[in-house]
Structure 1
Amino acid sequence: MKSRRGLKSPLIRTALLTAAGLMALSACGGDEAGPKLELTAALPDKPADGTVLRVGDPATQVALETSGAIDDLDVDIEWANITGGPKTLEAFRADAIDIGSVADIPPLFAHWTGTDVRIVAARETVDPAAHPTYELGVAPGVDVKSIEDLKGKKIAYSPGQAQGALVLNVLREAGLTQDDVELVEMQSVDDAFSVALAGKQVDVAPLGQTLVKTYLAKYERDGATTIPSGVRDDAWTLYAPTSVLEDADKAAAIKEYVAAWAKAQLWISDHPDEFAKAYYEDHEGLTPEDATYVVDALGKFTVPTNWDEFIARHQVTVDTLVKEQQQEPLEVETLYDRRFEKAIAAALGGESS
């Protein structure tokens, strides 16, 4: 994939985080820690001069740059070209970033595997039924026309990622259990699921919209297909290690960042052509046709300024994972830092819908 170069703002620095980059950044450990802040204390308005916020959120970076809103962001940001749950959690554990952008499953597995985190922002899709994040890719020659046809099939399964929860939700919706299928555990990184489908390692795999079109373009002639998953899959979050939120200066920087992030999500929805060109085409290397396809497929975003319903849906997912994966029971609201809910509401002033 391409990396975005030539950032104009003097406040912005970019780091491409490979394994070596993670080690290098963890060695320096960011800037000096700020004053201790209790999780129940009010968020400070401004970080101390010199505070650097290390952010793994390339899509928002591009949106802020393209819209020009990055010039209004009065915080020093070190951008990391990191996406996805596994890479973000690795970066947290290496003390290489302070905040990351992921779906709703990675914060749960961070918690369940011993990394104390909090969710500080939420995003969803205006019309999730019409604009799913994932479709179910079907391997060439495999006869699957509905989710009920999944019985007896080999399904790619990534337990610590959104795609893993999606599979469990789909099985529940189809009236099936894990015993009715063969779950093939693998991480969904880059095009791993597409490759597994093409190689007949699995019969079915969840594919994000960035992969659906390219998968069909390559393999539809051989009999590859996709089908709708039939379940809601649009939850998106920003989350951070609790230790970062206990640093008063970092917490103040995140307060400003989530406000800018919320506005950026609405800008993306209102400027799909510009975002398709800047992010999916120039940053991610998609063709103009594929970039437009992905933006159209994902639809418009909304940023809730009241998290009650979002958290309630998240709890349903948690309960599914507790049942199907024997995870520890969790009241998911304890992972939400609702101080930032108020900060986002103040920043949007009623613009979220």
Structure 2
Amino acid sequence: MRAALSSGLALLLLALLLLAHLVVTPARAEDVLRVGDQRGNARALMEAAGVLDGLPYRLEWSEFPAAAPLLEALNAGAIDAGGVGDAPFTFAAAAGAPVKAFMAFRNRQDGLAILVARDSPIRTVADLKGKRIATNRGSIGHQVVLAALEEAGLPFDGVVFSFLPPADAKIALASGSVDAWATWEPYTSAAELAGLARVVRDGNGITPGLTFTVARDSALAAKRPLLADFAARLAKARAWALEDPAPYAAVWSKLIGLPEAVPLRWFSRAGYRTVPINADVIADEQRTIELYVRAGLIPKARAPRAAAIFDTGFSQAPSQGLTPGLSKVPVAVQ
């Protein structure tokens, strides 16, 4: 299995590296790529992996607490690219933001979860009926609640949403002003390790387990050599972290200021893998779009076609050899 994994990742990395060197306009040292990051994710990974040495351009990082403000910065032209989950990317695309996904990653969804206080009587999704749930509007937390309700046969209005950013949602759950909190990493691992919450339902089997690196259309046109180089380096770093997530966790912990056990739990169970933007990825994104249409969060007339919001020119290597169950997480969102 290790040989097959190495072979598949090698093919993907080779394709990305070739693209980075075959683009028609070479990057120059005075060029700048402005990248948005969430909680130090990509930056800590790439620094820990040592893939940022010898950059032929200047890389400027901007830190964001969640995907929504990162996407707002992209829409405003304050940054060129950034990493986001499939759910907030869907909302941004439906709102007409001039962005496309040009890299895709698969991961397990243990850390995307609906949390309740440890002493809560809530044990199942059915128990959430009529309860108040905190999450960000349009986030992957919002997504997992909708998918869980649908799986349980409950209506989308069967719960009351309190749309709060993660820090406020954590306080709301601790104070009892909400009954549950739908969130993602590193918040899930931090809450579990601190003994503050337990999981009622995670995202495995009901959400695609997709995250994307996205860029403004203008950057895809004007800074394509830089984005190709960045994509190759990020894919190399992801492959490195799969072998041993501990060094990545150590760098992330110092950058963000949370105990090392939090990122180690997160990275070890998530198993992020770079995958090509292929028919499976596009089909899963279409399912997410359709979920939001069914829930009334995106008007049908404004719903984008999944195929139209990807740039497939960066990552088309085959994905054979990826570990079974992680290269494609089963989806029950129909």
| TM-score (normalised: structure 1) | 0.76
Distance 1:84 1:179, change over 3 A: closer
Match of 2:256 in 1: 284
Match of 1:260 in 2: 233
Deviation at 1:56, TM superposition (A): 1.4
8 Å CA contact 2:36–2:61 kept in 1: the answer is yes
Matches within 5 A, 1:241-320: 241-247=216-222, 250-279=223-252, 281-298=253-270, 300-320=271-291
Distance 1:78 1:326, change over 3 A: closer
Secondary structure at the counterpart of residue 146 of structure 2? helix
Segment of structure 1 superposing worse, 133-142 or 308-317: 133-142
Are 2:184 and 1:208 aligned? yes
Are 2:218 and 1:238 aligned? no
AA of the residue aligned to 1:107: F
* Unpaired segments ≥5 residues, structure 2: 1-21, 324-334
8 Å CA contact 1:139–1:202 kept in 2: the answer is no
8 Å CA contact 2:111–2:189 kept in 1: the answer is no
Segment of structure 1 superposing worse, 194-203 or 313-322: 194-203
How big is each residue's C-alpha offset from its partner over 1:69-92, in whole Å with a ceiling of 9 and x where there is no partner? 211443321122235212212322
Secondary structure at the counterpart of residue 341 of structure 1? coil
Matched-pair identity in %: 25
Are 2:310 and 1:336 aligned? yes
8 Å CA contact 1:137–1:225 kept in 2: the answer is yes
Q: In structure 2, how many angstroms separate the alpha carbons of the residues matched to 1:110 and 1:174?
A: 28
* Unpaired segments ≥5 residues, structure 1: 1-41
Q: In structure 2, how many angstroms separate the alpha carbons of the residues matched to 1:291 and 1:329?
A: 35
Match of 1:90 in 2: 72
8 Å CA contact 1:120–1:337 kept in 2: the answer is yes
Secondary structure at the counterpart of residue 84 of structure 2? strand
Question: Could you tell me which of 12, 15, 32 is aligned with 1:52?
Answer: 32
Question: Could you tell me which of 171, 189, 203 is aligned with 1:195?
Answer: 171
Are 2:292 and 1:321 aligned? yes
Secondary structure at the counterpart of residue 64 of structure 2? coil
AA of the residue aligned to 2:200: I
Segment of structure 1 superposing worse, 136-145 or 325-334: 136-145
Secondary structure at the counterpart of residue 239 of structure 1? strand
Q: In structure 2, how many angstroms separate the alpha carbons of the residues matched to 1:137 and 1:48?
A: 47
Are 2:44 and 1:62 aligned? yes
AA of the residue aligned to 1:185: F
Q: In structure 2, how many angstroms separate the alpha carbons of the residues matched to 1:262 and 1:352?
A: 14
Secondary structure at the counterpart of residue 91 of structure 2? helix
Paired positions, count: 295
Deviation at 1:306, TM superposition (A): 4.7
Deviation at 1:326, TM superposition (A): 3.9
Deviation at 1:288, TM superposition (A): 2.9
8 Å CA contact 2:112–2:183 kept in 1: the answer is yes
AA of the residue aligned to 1:303: T
Q: In structure 2, how many angstroms separate the alpha carbons of the residues matched to 1:78 and 1:198?
A: 36
Match of 2:53 in 1: 71
| TM-score (normalised: structure 2) | 0.80
Segment of structure 1 superposing worse, 207-216 or 102-111: 207-216
8 Å CA contact 1:124–1:235 kept in 2: the answer is yes
Deviation at 1:318, TM superposition (A): 0.5
